[in-house]
Amino acid sequence: MQVADLYVRVSTDEQTKGYSPRSQEAVLRQYCQLRNITVRQVFVEDYTAKHFNRPEWRKIMIILRKQRNRTDLLLFTKWDRFSRNTSDAYQMIDVLKKLGVEPQAVEQPLDLTVPENKMMLAIYLTAPEIENDRRGLNTKAGIRQAKKEGRYMGKAPRGYINKAYEDGRRYITLHEPDATIMRWVFNEVGEGLYSSESIMKQANKKGLNIDKNTFLINLRNPVYCGKIRVAAHNDEPAYLVQGLHEPLISESLFYKVQDIMDGRSKILKGLAIATPKDLPLRNFIKCNRCPRMLTGSASKGKTTYRVYYHCRSSCGVRYRAEDVNNAFMDELTTFIPRPGYPELFVASIAEAYGNQHRAIKEESDELILQISTANKKVDAARELLILNELEPSEYRKIKEENSSIIARLEMRLNEVNVQKSTHVNIKKLAEMAVRALCELDKLYDISSIEAKRYLVGILFPDKITYAEGACRTLKLNRGAELIYLENKALRAQKKGQKPLKKSLPHTGSVAVRNSNHFVDELIELGSFSKILKA
């Protein structure tokens, strides 16, 4: 009497709750009863047949290898229950034969010892594979078309939730409180003050509960600014379309975050949000023996704890936190403008920025020229493609690269055009900044730990060095630097000399960017007190 193992398979877990598994098992048992075949075990699978890396199938192979010659047949209803991959199916049939097991579909029986039956086997195996491939192509085409029309397909990213209309069409909409937290995340990363990892930890404390990999993927997702990415396909390059969903953030903020993550923006990054109150300068002080930044910690003495700034490496650099903090306070007092000069500083800055404002039009013209040049490159590549002088793959690469360049240039052009029509009260900003600098040491002394680190970050972008009991820095905030340069120049100026020529560096399109950064830095200098504790 022959012995058989029965194999029942459906594609999904939901189908196991339906009638199909019981129906297949009933057909197989009836087949065995009519032919006097003993049923040994029944295996029920809820997995795809595109490959044999299936949980139940792995269990079957382990049993068959351990218990050789105890099973004669492996029965299933149809060959598509066995496999929907022709090449894998032939290999598995050979493996089973070597184990002394004959696979057989009871509703599509074949005597595989007859050579001609191999042709029928190929038909039985190939037809389901073709059906699978066609269904897959149709599904992919439908998903691609839906994306082109601005619909988000797939599981909603954090901050959104999947919903469906009455007609079955799916869409995504904002989901609180995750949406508010993700908006906060983008704003914090865009500020450039803290590392993405420390921002992620704070977001998780707020209730986001996200892992690092998903967090970084979300920061790259254009869905948050209202865009849908359509992937490259055949000769069509990847591109972005306007989505139908509500954007969580602005496009300018999204691309600002991308620049920060790609390292295209010079920002203050790598700082931890949570810092002990006795270590406001942690990760701001350069080690003078190695390239690392000094961290900080407390060590227990006989009766109390002592706090130190120290290097993580084996170079041995270590300073008492109290000494470094006091030296930094002394250094701050040297940057306080001399009494009587704030009005002159404000007038100087206002005049310099006014002279520089014409550079906005120069950058606008330069951006238009760059966009035109990029479009001409794409047009030239298209001509070469038509003349068969350029491979399609090379053309796609050129078009994709230039499309990305054009998108960024157009975004920047829109910002510049907005600046043309925006009036900045530079005098008021300068007054705020100078007022803050006049009370620099006092403001720093009464600030919270967060405000202290914020001030250090915006005032000293190139970090601080500590040696021989004193703190030094090589580069200042651009707004503060101009004020202090003017301060020194005014001290050296003799009576009767002509006033100094006041202008910011002028190098075409760079000038407006410098001017815009300068204004941003003045705003930061003048408004950092907003994060002081009341």
Which one-letter DSSP state was computed for residue 74?
Answer: E
Amino acid sitting at position 510:
V
Task: Name the β-bridge partners of 285.
Answer: 464
Active site annotation includes 11 = yes
Mapped onto helix, strand or coil, the DSSP state of residue 76 is: strand
d(CA 190, CA 520): 13
**Which of these, 169, 138, 165, lies nearest to 153 by C-alpha position?**
169
Residues 5 and 41 sit within 8 Å (Cβ to Cβ) = yes
* Amino acid letter, 29: R
| 3-class secondary-structure state, position 310 | strand
- Tell me how crowded residue 401 is: count the other CB atoms within 10 A of its CB: 14
Instruction: Give the whole-angstrom CA distance, residue 245 versus residue 151.
Output: 7
Is the Cβ–Cβ distance between 162 and 172 less than 8 Å? Answer: yes
Q: Parallel, antiparallel, or unpaired: how do β-strands 3-10 and 73-76 relate?
A: parallel
In angstroms, rounded to a whole number, what is the distance separating the alpha carbons of residues 45 and 40? 17
Distance CA 93, CA 118 (A): 12
Q: What is the spatial distance between Cα 286 and Cα 181, in angstroms, rounded to a whole number?
A: 33
What is the C-alpha separation between 6 and 298, in angstroms, rounded? 68
Exposed / middle / buried, residue 327 (Cβ in 10 Å: 0-12, 13-18, 19+)? buried
Structure tokens at 200: 């992620």
Query: In this structure, what token pair is assigned to residue 375?
Result: 């479009």
Cα(153)–Cα(243) distance, integer angstroms: 11
Alpha helices in 225-341 (DSSP H): 251-262, 321-333
Beta-carbon contacts of 252 under 8 Å, excluding residues fewer than 6 positions away, are 411, 415
Q: Which helix (H) or strand (E) holds 472?
A: strand 470-472
In three-state secondary structure terms, 103 is strand
Q: Are 171 and 183 in contact (CB under 8 A)?
A: no
Sheet strands (E) in 311-399: 318-320
Q: Parallel, antiparallel, or unpaired: how do β-strands 227-230 and 239-242 relate?
A: antiparallel
Residue 214: CB partners within 8 Å, gap ≥ 6? 158
Catalytic residue among 11, 20, 252, 503: 11
Q: How many other β-carbons are positioned within 10 Å of the β-carbon of residue 262?
A: 9
Can you tell me the distance from the alpha carbon of 101 to that of 83, in angstroms, rounded to the nearest whole number? Answer: 16
Residues carrying an active site annotation: 11
